[in-house]
Amino acid sequence: MAIERTLSIIKPDGVEKGVIGKVIARFEEQGLKPIAIRLTQLSKADAEGFYAVHKARSFFADLVKFMTSGPVVLMVLEGEGAVAKNREIMGATDPAKAAPGTLRKDFATNIEKNTVHGSDSLENAKVEVSYFFPEVQIHSYQWKK
């Protein structure tokens, strides 16, 4: 499988619950390397632009409000099949439907406050990574372990 990059976000509920380290540990333990990390607070324009595909959905305004309600951690993850692997580690959107051992099963509050975002395709991953990270802020490296 090819080495891919994907965008991960630890959402405001994850930061508030104090699980930044636990989330990143799951990624590292399962073969995904953080190659860019930034803690920030999204503006309304940032969140609206990022979730533009959902702007017709009933939950859009609430989602933007939630995503701007506190700090988030933006990350680029790199690894074999990183896009699908990240989605697997995250679990289903609704934590009630998420598989045991997934981030959303273990940490999410509900279908909105679901702790993590992950790009859903390689094509979207490229768009989402470049939405937040210029190439000069991304640094690949090899593990020696």
Question: In the complex with ligand IDP, which residue's Cβ is closer, 40 or 140?
Answer: 40
CA-to-CA distance for 37 and 41, rounded, in angstroms? 13
Binding site partner of 106, from ligand IDP, Mg ion, none, Cβ cut-off 5-8 A by kind = none
Binding site partner of 16, from ligand IDP, Mg ion, none, Cβ cut-off 5-8 A by kind = none
Active site (annotated) includes residue 117: yes
From 5, 11, 85, 117, the catalytic residue = 117
User: Considering only 29-37, 77-85, 109-117, 127-135, which stretch makes contact with ligand IDP by CB under 6 A?
Assistant: 109-117
What one-letter code names the amino acid at 40? T
Burial class (CB in 10 A: 0-12, 13-18, 19+), 53: exposed
CA-to-CA distance for 117 and 17, rounded, in angstroms? 16
CB of 120 to Mg ion, least distance (A): 5
Classify the phi-psi angles of 129: left when phi > 0, otherwise alpha if psi is within -120 to 50, otherwise beta: alpha
Strands (E), 1-145: 3-10, 33-40, 72-80, 116-118
Told to check if 111 binds ligand IDP by CB under 6 A, we report yes
User: Considering only 23-31, 77-85, 114-122, 132-140, which stretch makes contact with ligand IDP by CB under 6 A?
Assistant: 114-122
Binding residues for ligand IDP, rule: CB under 6 A, are 54, 59, 63, 93, 111-112, 114, 117, 120
Could you give the residue numbers annotated as active site? 117
